[in-house]
Structure 1
Amino acid sequence: MSHLLIHIRVVGALLVREMATRFGSKPGGYVWALLDPAAHILLLTLIFRAIARAPALGTSFALFFATGYIAFQFYQAMASYLNSAVRANKALLSYPNVAPIDTVVARFVLQLCTTTLVACIVLGTIIASIRTDTNMHWPFILEAVAMACLLGLGVAMINCVLFLKYPLYEQVFGIVNRPLFLISGVFFLPDSIPGPYRDLVLLNPLVHIIMGFRRGFYPEYRAVGLDMNYLYGIAFLTLFAGMLVFTISKKALRNE
Structure 2
Amino acid sequence: MNRPSVPAPEDLAVQGAALLADGRPLEAIDVLRQAMAGGDPSAPDLLVRAYFDSGSFRAVVDWLGPLVEQGHVRFAGRLGVALVQLGERERAEDALRLAVETGDVPAANDLAILLRDEGRLVEAVHLLVDAAADGDQLAAANLVELQLEAGDLPAAAAAAERYASERRPDTILALADVRAQQGRAADADELYRRAGELGALRAHIAYAQFLLARGDRETAEQELREAERIAEPGWAFALGRFLLDDGRVDDARRCLQIAVDEGDQDALAALAELDGVDVDEY
TM-score (norm 2): 0.22
- Rg (Cα) greater in structure: 2
Relative CO higher for 1 or 2, CA cutoff 8 Å, sep ≥ 6?
1
TM-score (norm 1): 0.24
